[in-house]
Amino acid sequence: MATRFVASIEAAIEPARHFPLAAPARERLGPGLRVIFHDPYAVYYRPMPDAVIIVRVLHGARDVAAFAERGGFEG
């Protein structure tokens, strides 16, 4: 089960490896943060010069603003 979930997230983020700036920016949540939606999840990532760093994978029902206020997207 977990292996399939990770594989599905990897498949969802694959386009970001080639076009890292194509996904919507979420600067209000964290600097450089972008998001790809993989229903029912949101995959938050930061594009780097040589990689795409997945910061968080959150269920769509989560209060993202409250999560960000508590520093959930830092690091």
pLDDT digits (tens, 9 = 90+) for 28-45: 999 999 999 998 999 999
53 vs 21: CA distance, rounded Å:
13
63 vs 50: CA distance, rounded Å:
31
Mean pLDDT on 12-17: 92
CATH architecture of the domain with range 2-69:
2-Layer Sandwich (3.30)
pTM above 0.85, yes or no: yes
Amino acid at 66: A
* pLDDT in the model for residue 75: 62
* pLDDT in the model for residue 41: 94
Contact 60, 41 (CB under 8 A): yes
Contact 11, 20 (CB under 8 A): no
| Cβ burial, residue 60 (10 Å; 0-12/13-18/19+) | exposed
7 vs 37: CA distance, rounded Å:
15
Amino acid at 6: V
